[in-house]
């Protein structure tokens, strides 16, 4: 739309798009209002829109990802979640155990990560474990414990949802819903979280290309949930020294292609607590908006991901290093 386009003119265009049985997605940015026309062969309705008042130009979106791309939304997306800014200049840190194991474990971790400056508490209640014979999470009781930890610390909570039928319950408890790497292409689940009014953090699939990842985000955005955060958590390569290969290339690439905020998870990205701090710092230097770090009171006894979980004192040390790197690259901790 033209810079000077009125609200009525925008409405008129939206109305026309919908009357032609296409979906209209509105992006009101600082520089311009862009109306996305979504549907098969959308460019064919060009002639019915081009003469409407307020329309500046009709641009065919050439990339396969549309709503996650910068053509539709040129400015960075910035959300405020639980008082914390996501996607802006400041860096936010999500920390907590891989899985919620007990009230004591979660409460002590929540207090410790808060004291070190974390902004969000993580903890899985529903765990997507590689083997069905290992701990599968506390389920609904785990969600209640996360709510208790939020009440005690004030930290907003992020937790994974694995099944479409759990989305309602998880959305009622959590401040951010996490879609795990194994579910990145679970399209029914993506559609379901696309319909809730809670932000969604979409982890990159184990062997997903950046394009497949952005197309997965598209499933959520196209259902009207525009609060999507991406998370690079390492991909599978031939390397066996680390659990995954943390693909930090993805950070500048995604920031160029997409307006969505991006988080780096060096815990799953490396698989060993010894390398987490270095790669957390590298993630910030590469341009990530946030970090996700696994922390446990006693990693040796963790039910899941103990080897990559930091003890409280090492998490405090990591936060000190992340602060320094943030400042060195012209950013700051939120
Ligand atoms: C997790 O965050 O604990 C998790 C299961 O991560 P991923 O889906 O990236 O393996
Ligand atoms: Mn984990």
Model pTM above 0.75: yes
* Helix, strand or coil, per DSSP, at residue 201: strand
pLDDT given for residue 162 in this prediction: 97
- The pocket of ion ligand 2, defined by CB under 5 A, consists of 98, 305
Of all atoms in ligand 1, which is nearest to the CA of residue 128? Answer: 5
Give the span between the Cα atoms of 232 and 239, in whole angstroms: 17
pLDDT given for residue 34 in this prediction: 95
Q: Tens of pLDDT along 71-80? A: 999 999 999 9
Q: What is the Å distance from ligand 1's center to 270 Cα?
A: 12
Give the span between the Cα atoms of 229 and 91, in whole angstroms: 13
Of all atoms in ligand 1, which is nearest to the CA of residue 124? Answer: 3
Give the span between the Cα atoms of 247 and 162, in whole angstroms: 24
Total number of residues shown for the chain: 334
Beta strand residue intervals within the chain, DSSP E: 23-28, 33-38, 79-81, 84-86, 90-96, 120-122, 157-160, 176-179, 200-203, 228-232, 262-264, 290-294, 332-333
Question: For 194, left (φ over 0), alpha (ψ -120 to 50), or beta?
Answer: alpha
For ligand 1, atom 9, name the residue with the nearest CA: 181
DSSP assignments along 249-277, one per residue = THHHHHHHHB-S-EEE-HHHHHSSHHHHH
Q: Tens of pLDDT along 140-184? A: 999 999 999 999 999 999 999 999 999 999 999 999 999 999 999
- CA torsion angle for 205, 290, 326, 329 (degrees, to 10)? 60
Ordered per-residue pLDDT tens for the chain, 334 residues: 999 999 999 999 999 999 999 999 999 988 789 999 999 899 999 999 999 999 999 999 888 899 999 999 999 999 999 999 999 999 999 999 999 999 999 999 999 999 999 999 999 999 999 999 999 999 999 999 999 999 999 999 999 999 999 999 999 999 999 999 999 999 999 999 999 999 999 999 999 999 999 999 999 999 999 999 999 999 999 999 999 999 999 999 999 999 999 999 999 999 999 999 999 999 999 999 999 999 999 999 999 999 999 999 999 999 999 999 999 999 999 9
Of all atoms in ligand 1, which is nearest to the CA of residue 181? Answer: 8
* Residue to mutate, 138, 161, 182, ligand 1, most ligand atoms under 8 Å from C-beta: 182
Instruction: Kindly list the protein residues whose Cβ atom lies closer than 6 A to any atom of ligand 1.
Output: 98, 124, 128, 180-182, 203, 233, 268
For ligand 1, atom 1, name the residue with the nearest CA: 98
Of all atoms in ligand 1, which is nearest to the CA of residue 234? Answer: 9
């Amino acid at each position: 739309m033209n810079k000077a386009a009125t609200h009525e003119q925008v409405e008129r265009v939206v109305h026309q798009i919908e009357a032609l049985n296409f979906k209209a997605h509105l992006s009101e940015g600082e520089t311009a209002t862009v109306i996305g026309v979504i549907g098969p062969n959308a460019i064919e309705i060009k002639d019915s829109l081009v003469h409407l008042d307020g329309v500046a130009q009709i641009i065919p979106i050439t990339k396969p990802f549309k709503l996650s791309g910068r053509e539709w939304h040129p400015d960075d997306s910035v959300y405020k979640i639980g008082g914390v800014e996501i996607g802006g200049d400041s860096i936010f840190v999500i920390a907590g155990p891989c899985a919620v194991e007990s009230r004591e474990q979660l409460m002590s971790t929540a207090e410790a990560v808060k004291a070190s400056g974390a902004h969000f508490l993580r903890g899985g209640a529903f765990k997507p474990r590689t083997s069905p014979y290992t701990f599968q999470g506390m389920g609904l009781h785990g969600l209640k414990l996360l709510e208790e930890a939020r009440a005690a610390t004030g930290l907003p909570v992020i937790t994974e949802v694995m099944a479409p039928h759990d989305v309602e319950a998880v959305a009622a408890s959590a401040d951010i819903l996490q879609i795990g790497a194994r579910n990145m292409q679970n399209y029914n689940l993506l559609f379901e979280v696309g319909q809730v009014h809670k932000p969604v953090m979409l982890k990159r699939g184990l062997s997903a290309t950046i394009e497949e990842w952005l197309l997965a985000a598209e499933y959520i955005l196209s259902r009207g949930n525009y609060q999507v955060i991406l998370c690079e958590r390492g991909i599978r390569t031939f390397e066996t020294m680390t659990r995954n290969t943390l693909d930090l290339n993805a950070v500048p690439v995604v920031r160029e292609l997409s307006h969505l905020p991006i988080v780096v998870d060096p815990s799953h990205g490396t698989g060993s607590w010894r390398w987490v701090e270095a790669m957390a710092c590298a993630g910030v230097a590469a341009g990530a908006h946030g970090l996700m770090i696994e922390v446990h009171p006693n990693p040796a006894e963790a039910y899941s991901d103990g080897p990559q979980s930091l003890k409280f004192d090492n998490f405090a040390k990591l936060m000190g290093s992340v602060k320094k790197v943030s400042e060195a690259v012209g950013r700051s901790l939120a």
